[in-house]
Amino acid sequence: MLIQPPPDIASSEITEERIFLNRREFIHTAAGATLGVATGGLALGKDAEAMSLGQEEIPNVQPGPFGTDEPKNSFEDITSYNNYYEFGLDKRDPSRNAHTLTTSPWTIRVDGHVAKPADYHIEDLLKGIPLEERVYRLRCVEAWSMVIPWVGFPLSTLINRFQPTSKAKYVEFTTVLRLSEMPGARRPVLDWPYVEGLRMDEAMHPLTILAVGLYGKTLLNQNGAPIRLVVPWKYGFKSIKSIVRMRFTADQPRTAWNKATPNEYGFFANVNPTVNHPRWSQRSERRIGRFFRQPTLMFNGYDDQVASLYNGMDLRRFF
């Protein structure tokens, strides 16, 4: 399968938020004293003005650590230029097609080497967890990037609740698969469902979060509603969307892109400008909404925080 690098796109070419959001159903916020989290589909209001407001605001969000002070991409950039192949291969397909995904009710299965395996309803799973905003870079392997204000919480918070055993060396994540709602998944682009994974120390790192919103609002489906992973020092395909399973394993998971083309997509997928994709360079990137390219930063600019995780590893071999 040949995947072409994406064309340049100017912010002026992207559909206005008002027009775009009128076509969608959105996910609801389960807001409590310390929690506002995406929990499912919600038909907004009866009039166009109400629907144009988009997702619901998430209350009680506090500024989080580790964020960048780089200019953020616009809401329009973030919600209309996406990789989510279950809804199509074109960057615009997810925003056109993802409204078909039902996100309520939502259950996440937790199993494998943990003391507390169960099928958790998302409301119960996230009850009482305070949310924070972290402005993270997202770097895609196709050499484009964004700066996104995610709303979420450290993945380690949930992992500690599940009480992994000493046999748990990795965490495997699985995306929902519903062929009736995901037109792109009807094509054998990948071995569905989409699977990704992290080594346990990567999963427990404070930079790794589960996101339930962006720009202070609940996630849209094309961005991975109702809950997704964000690992900012890795290429975007590691940050799996619409999670329905977390499995704790002793062995390295077989992940979707690594199975499909192992010479192009390594398990670790750390942003590394010295390791090129076989079909294009990774030394520079284009921030969506800008004309000029910029140098790619090692570990996507998070070198000081995460380089120690890979001491002694050959990062050209374990790419």
Contacts of 90 (CB under 8 A, 6+ apart): none
Q: How confident is the model at residue 283 (pLDDT cuts 50, 70, 90)?
A: very high
In a domain, 37, yes or no: yes
In a domain, 128, yes or no: yes
- Model pLDDT for residues 216-262, shown as the tens digit of each residue: 999 999 999 999 999 999 999 999 999 999 999 999 999 999 999 99
Contacts of 49 (CB under 8 A, 6+ apart): none
In a domain, 319, yes or no: no
In a domain, 315, yes or no: no
Q: Quick one: tokens of 148?
A: 């996104």
In a domain, 1, yes or no: no
Specify the pTM: 0.84
State the residue range of the domain holding 245: 11-46+56-310
Query: Once rounded to an integer, what is the mean pLDDT over residues 119-142?
Result: 95
Provide the domain count of the chain: 1
Q: What is the CATH number of the domain that holds 275?
A: 3.90.420.10
Distance CA 68, CA 172 (A): 28
